[in-house]
Amino acid sequence: MAAAKPSLGRLLPGSSILFLCDMQEKFRHVAYFPQIVSVAARMLKVARLLEVPTVLTEQYPQGLGPTVPELGAEGLRPLAKTCFSMVPVARQELDARPQLRSVLLCGIEAQVCILNTALDLMDRGLQVHVVVDACSSRSQVDRLVALARMRQSGAFLSTSEGLILQLVGDAAHPQFKEIQKIIKEPAPDSGLLGLFQGQNPLLR
């Protein structure tokens, strides 16, 4: 009997969805918050160009405020939640898309809502792509261990540019020139080199 083929984590716009988690006013103290939001905004622009659906959540917005304007999420209806996972409030969106295979996950905080969302999505049989330069935590130890934990559980860790170009797939794509403008400047530094450099045992 042939061994089961491992999941390669390939992405196609028609079977993907973008999740934007809790990038709100009261979380501006999270490490690298401006950079994280900037990268998530890139992902949202690309999702709109490629017609990838998007889910936006806000954690207890009455106390933690609205989504920050620099995300550029105008036109999206935020789903309010108290649960430390996006999945309960996004269930209707997920159930409405039987063709869905992949979720691109951005936001905060890595060790709480990002981790629990990733686990809940994988429980549903979906592939999770954590956009590492669009996720952070107040503590960089929490961020590092959360990334390692998600990887241990089967999530894919990728950069925004890697995921964007995987979604586009071909320089002949009709939206490629517009997307090229978005990624022309490298994504801002969000402290990842410090997490990944050297022989970090958590990310081997």
13: helix, strand or coil: helix
Name the band, by pLDDT with cuts 50, 70 and 90, for residue 25. Answer: very high
Average of per-residue pLDDT across 181-197: 87
Range of the domain at 21: 13-171+179-189
State yes or no: is 113 an active-site residue. Answer: yes
- Of the candidates 22, 106, 120, 133, the residue annotated as catalytic is 22
Q: Note if 22 is an active site residue.
A: yes
- Annotated active-site residue in 113, 120, 133, 135: 113
Distance CA 140, CA 178 (A): 34
Please indicate, yes or no, if residue 204 is contained in any of the structural domains: no
- Number of structural domains in the chain: 1
Query: Which of 36-40, 97-101, 147-151, 195-199 is least confident?
Result: 195-199
Evaluate whether residue 198 is within a structural domain: no
Specify if 57 maps to a domain. yes
Residue 110: give its domain's CATH number: 3.40.50.850
Active-site position among 21, 81, 106, 133: 81
- Is the model's pLDDT at 153 over the cut of 90? yes
Q: Is residue 59 part of a domain?
A: yes
Q: Which one, of 102, 55, 101, lies nearest residue 81 by Cα?
A: 55
